[in-house]
Structure 1
Amino acid sequence: MIQEWLNLVLNIVVMLLAVALTTLAVRLHSNSAFAGAALYSLLSFGENPAGIVLFWTSLETSLGAISRLKAFNDTVKSEDRDGESIIPPEHWPQSGVVVLKGVSATYSSEYHEGSTTRLALHDIHLTIGSGEKVAICGRTGSGKSSFIALLLKLIDPISIGAEIILIDGQPLQHLNRSELRQRIIAVPQETVFLPDGSTFWANLDVAQEATREECETVLTAVGLWEFVQERGGLDAGMNASTFSAGQRQLMSLGRALIRRSIRQRKYAAGAEHGGILLLDEVSSSVDQETECVMQQTIRTEFKNYTVIAVAHRLDMVMDFDKVVVMDTGEIVETGIPAILAREAGSRFGDLVRARNG
């Protein structure tokens, strides 16, 4: 903005000088060749200050960016902790068993015993068996997304006990964060794309490990292959704004399918491979048709996976094995969704009836 203003002022000054020079040349009947040369020199002179302004503002912008990066590096602590040295086996987590024993967690990094800081999760006791489909439900602010964040080590438990959270027998506290997030497949609520102009292939398979055939198969499974073909195919550049809300979520689910396919190819050798799939309100902004596609894809493609889903639309989880109802960071009810939905006084039943009006 400052650069544009300075360029405008310089252009106006050069214009006024050119008008004055032309007026003087006409009134004094100066030599036309001399007047033309002077006018050309004046215009050329105007380009030099404009160039200086351009380079100066670029320098200021660069120095500001460097200053912000340095401040970020000085003030933001690394999320890695001492003792996070466990690199699990390549096939981990194959069973997908998750055990939590009295887990409490907070987003505050300065929490201490006796602190008045509100806990995001409080005294969570839960066991999720291999291949179970578990829904996490509750009202806004109940701790649903915090539960997913805890499993991805986006927040840390306040206890220092080594075995309060176990995933396939491995203590979460000592797992390497980067390895953990590579092994657990997660589908976020908001889909993030690479910069505009990057290809469909790069956006679908960010790690660039999948084959073209795997990408086509996945896009067909989520109903986006025809959409991609109409826009030039996998190698064509794309713009995130061309995707609807539902298509964005289908693309995000496609990424999860790609990761499942790669794990299957690398470690299963023809046998069905298990794992963990985390879903954070993936159907909250999609229409009913897209939701049905997502439900069917999850049932068929992740049938051997442990699925933990934060659910906004409760009809999506009625066929799950278990539902966990949360309120203010605590588990207040667990059970089978279809049964709880019919029970009088059930927290889950109240949520279902409130959603259905």
Structure 2
Amino acid sequence: MSRYMRPYKGIFWASVILTILLAAVAPALPMLIEYTLDKYILHADASGLNWMLLAMIGLLILQTIIRYYHTLTTNILGQDVIRDIRIEVFNHISNLRLKYFDNTPIGKLITRTISDLETIANIFSQGLIQIIGDLLQLLVIFGVMLYTDWKLTLIVLVPMPIMIWATYIFKEAMKSAFIDVRTAVSNLNTFLQEHISGMAIIQYFSREKQEMRKFDEINAKHRDAHIRANWYFSIFFPVLEIILAISTGLLVWYGSKQILDNTISPGVVVAFLMYINMIFRPIRELIDRFNTLQMGMVSAERIFEVLDTDEFTPNNGTKQPANIQGEIEFQHVWFAYNDEKWVLKDVSFHVNPGETLALVGATGAGKSSTINILNRFYEIQQGSIKLDGTDIRDYDLNYLRRHISTVLQDVFLFSDSILNNITLNNPNIKFDDVVEAAKKVGAYDFIMRLPGGFNYQVQERGATLSSGQAQLISFIRALVHNPTILILDEATSSVDTETEIMIQQAIDNIMSGRTAIVIAHRLSTIQKADKIIVFDKGEIKEIGTHTELLNIEEGYYKKLYDLQFNSLGI
């Protein structure tokens, strides 16, 4: 944590100084009351009493001012640190390889980035510095009490061993409870994120009641975790009150005897009554703050677990040539998502610059995996992939991906304007280029009919647009980044036949001069491809043009073609 506070040394030390000042002035009021009682009230000195009253008012004003700035600086420090940590966490998550997201629920990452970080913020605003302040206040008050009357101080401290033992038991119990609370919060966030995103599926299949029961179970665990934590509080604080009452009783008993024996003055006993409350108040707050600190540490462990995750795509390459021609070569590539359950087996092929390669095959044959490893979203286990004769691992990763644009079957649009969804806030993309790309794709007219045109605000995941319109926007997005390699992964599957025909010519124009890889189930869309590869269970079965593959008797492609077109009655 210390490294996150280094940029804010000034405000940190200001908080520390204010903490010390608060501790220093803490016993001043009881001391003034003791002095006033013994020197002025018992001697009926009204004039002196008035002056002491003014002194007390001034002291209270001073304490208020110090406490105001103390609270302000600690909260500012906490928010500054949390802002930096949140940026680091988001940046870290953004650079993790896709395999990490395959195995990690999104709701848990949301909990780490938002809820857990807010808990850590409390360490600074309500925890660490305040704990130091409370401990300093206790030391100062104990020092004053011992200096004033050490015997009376020892009498007051008789119940302290009981309180220390109770505090230790409470601390251990609360740590376990806080872990359960944070786990319950994470599970609740995960469930909500997944089910709100998939609400259409729930309603399509009338699963509302069943999912409500699941939510009720998760919510009940969330409630029980909080109740258990609060139950420990409900036991511990009454114990503290009992100990306070015992200390107060011992003070009154022993102090009264001392007053009767003229050993001490009444002002000392009154001051000690205030000291006892000033001791137990920081102790109660210390417990609260310690719990805040403990919960923050639990959250910190969970956040640093994410930050310690090193599932990055290695970016050791440095090559950034001025131009990429777009020559692609797979050489004996083997790839598996998990262990050695091979998704691609000894895959080899070559694509010349400017050629169009089509990948066909059944679902799960390995088509999408081929483009995933070309983008280096996943790393291959064996073989090599070369771009312009250079292994793709030798290129700078960002440079490599900038030269590849992909249009996916499942289009993702952000809650933002159409323009920002296209440019992804890239300042190097000019508006005129966006308009030109929109006209090429055939999307310009429908965009201009929307309220605000390119400034139309798209709802989450493009809910206010048809699937075909969202797909067209993804085409524009791919084009304006001016890629050397264009990948279309089932890119027309969400477009109706009429729209597909309308944009097919535009796609042909867009592919001109670019290397293109097309994944399609509709074989009618790939007949013009320079080369077609037929995948089956991760292996290449056939390579050739549309005409060449149709001439192979009992060939895989011919069977797919006949099956598809016979089903259409052609």
Q: What TM-score results when the alignment is normalised by the length of structure 2? A: 0.45
For the residues of structure 1 that align with 2:472 and 2:544, how far apart are their CA atoms? Answer: 29
> Given the alignment, which residue of 351, 371, 388 partners 1:148?
371
Task: Note closer, same or farther for the CA distance 1:203–1:68 as it changes in structure 2 (3 Å cut).
Answer: farther
Question: Is structure 2 residue 133 aligned with structure 1 residue 133?
Answer: no
Residue-by-residue CA offset, 1:136-191 (whole Å, 9 max, x unaligned): 011111101111111011121212x6xx2210122112222222111212212211
Question: Is structure 2 residue 427 aligned with structure 1 residue 208?
Answer: yes
Aligned to 2:538: 329
Unaligned runs of 5+ in 2: 1-187, 189-218, 224-291
Question: Is structure 2 residue 408 aligned with structure 1 residue 188?
Answer: yes
Letter in 1 for 2:448: Q
For the residues of structure 1 that align with 2:300 and 2:503, how far apart are their CA atoms? Answer: 43
Aligned to 1:228: 447
Letter in 1 for 2:312: E
Residue-by-residue CA offset, 1:232-267 (whole Å, 9 max, x unaligned): 12233232212111111111111111112xx6xxxx
Unaligned runs of 5+ in 1: 7-58, 112-116, 264-274
Aligned to 2:473: 251
Aligned to 1:87: 319
Question: Is structure 2 residue 332 aligned with structure 1 residue 102?
Answer: yes
Task: Note closer, same or farther for the CA distance 1:293–1:88 as it changes in structure 2 (3 Å cut).
Answer: farther
| SS of corresponding position for 1:304 | coil
For the residues of structure 1 that align with 2:303 and 2:319, how far apart are their CA atoms? Answer: 30
Task: Note closer, same or farther for the CA distance 1:68–1:219 as it changes in structure 2 (3 Å cut).
Answer: farther
Q: Are the equivalent residues in 2 in contact too, given 1:101–1:165 (CA < 8 A)?
A: yes
Letter in 2 for 1:247: Q
In the TM superposition, residue 342 of structure 1 has moved relative to its aligned partner by: 4.7
Aligned to 1:237: 457
For the residues of structure 2 that align with 1:96 and 1:138, how far apart are their CA atoms? Answer: 24
Task: Note closer, same or farther for the CA distance 1:88–1:242 as it changes in structure 2 (3 Å cut).
Answer: same
Q: Are the equivalent residues in 2 in contact too, given 1:106–1:118 (CA < 8 A)?
A: yes
In the TM superposition, residue 104 of structure 1 has moved relative to its aligned partner by: 0.7
Letter in 1 for 2:433: E
Residue-by-residue CA offset, 1:95-121 (whole Å, 9 max, x unaligned): 21111111111112xx4xxxxx21111
> Given the alignment, which residue of 499, 512, 515 partners 1:303?
512
In the TM superposition, residue 341 of structure 1 has moved relative to its aligned partner by: 2.7
In the TM superposition, residue 286 of structure 1 has moved relative to its aligned partner by: 1.9
Aligned to 1:354: 563
Task: Note closer, same or farther for the CA distance 1:211–1:283 as it changes in structure 2 (3 Å cut).
Answer: same
| SS of corresponding position for 1:210 | coil
Q: Are the equivalent residues in 2 in contact too, given 1:283–1:312 (CA < 8 A)?
A: no
Task: Note closer, same or farther for the CA distance 1:225–1:130 as it changes in structure 2 (3 Å cut).
Answer: same
Q: What TM-score results when the alignment is normalised by the length of structure 1? A: 0.70
Letter in 2 for 1:135: A
For the residues of structure 1 that align with 2:458 and 2:445, how far apart are their CA atoms? Answer: 14
* Larger CA Rg, structure 1 vs 2: 2
For the residues of structure 1 that align with 2:300 and 2:400, how far apart are their CA atoms? Answer: 31
Question: Is structure 2 residue 344 aligned with structure 1 residue 121?
Answer: yes
Considering Cα pairs closer than 8 Å and 6+ residues apart, tell me whether 1 or 2 has the greater RCO: 1
For the residues of structure 1 that align with 2:509 and 2:438, how far apart are their CA atoms? Answer: 15
For the residues of structure 2 that align with 1:183 and 1:152, how far apart are their CA atoms? Answer: 10
Q: Are the equivalent residues in 2 in contact too, given 1:106–1:155 (CA < 8 A)?
A: no
Task: Note closer, same or farther for the CA distance 1:66–1:235 as it changes in structure 2 (3 Å cut).
Answer: farther
Task: Note closer, same or farther for the CA distance 1:176–1:107 as it changes in structure 2 (3 Å cut).
Answer: farther
Q: Are the equivalent residues in 2 in contact too, given 1:319–1:338 (CA < 8 A)?
A: no
Any residues of structure 2 matched to 1:33-112 within 5 Å, and which? 69-74=303-308, 76-81=309-314, 84-91=316-323, 93=324, 95-108=325-338, 111=339
Task: Note closer, same or farther for the CA distance 1:88–1:169 as it changes in structure 2 (3 Å cut).
Answer: farther
For the residues of structure 1 that align with 2:375 and 2:355, how far apart are their CA atoms? Answer: 18
Q: Which has the higher strand share?
A: 1
In the TM superposition, residue 334 of structure 1 has moved relative to its aligned partner by: 0.5
Task: Note closer, same or farther for the CA distance 1:68–1:294 as it changes in structure 2 (3 Å cut).
Answer: farther
Question: Is structure 2 residue 395 aligned with structure 1 residue 175?
Answer: yes
In the TM superposition, residue 319 of structure 1 has moved relative to its aligned partner by: 1.0
Letter in 1 for 2:480: I
Aligned to 1:319: 528
Letter in 2 for 1:73: L
For the residues of structure 1 that align with 2:504 and 2:369, how far apart are their CA atoms? Answer: 23
For the residues of structure 2 that align with 1:293 and 1:210, how far apart are their CA atoms? Answer: 26
Task: Note closer, same or farther for the CA distance 1:278–1:68 as it changes in structure 2 (3 Å cut).
Answer: farther
Q: Are the equivalent residues in 2 in contact too, given 1:325–1:333 (CA < 8 A)?
A: yes
For the residues of structure 2 that align with 1:289 and 1:338, how far apart are their CA atoms? Answer: 26
Task: Note closer, same or farther for the CA distance 1:333–1:213 as it changes in structure 2 (3 Å cut).
Answer: same
Compute the RMSD of aligned alpha carbons.
2.6
Residue-by-residue CA offset, 1:62-113 (whole Å, 9 max, x unaligned): 9798775444333x433232x722232142x2x21111111111112xx4xx
Percent identity between the aligned chains? Answer: 28
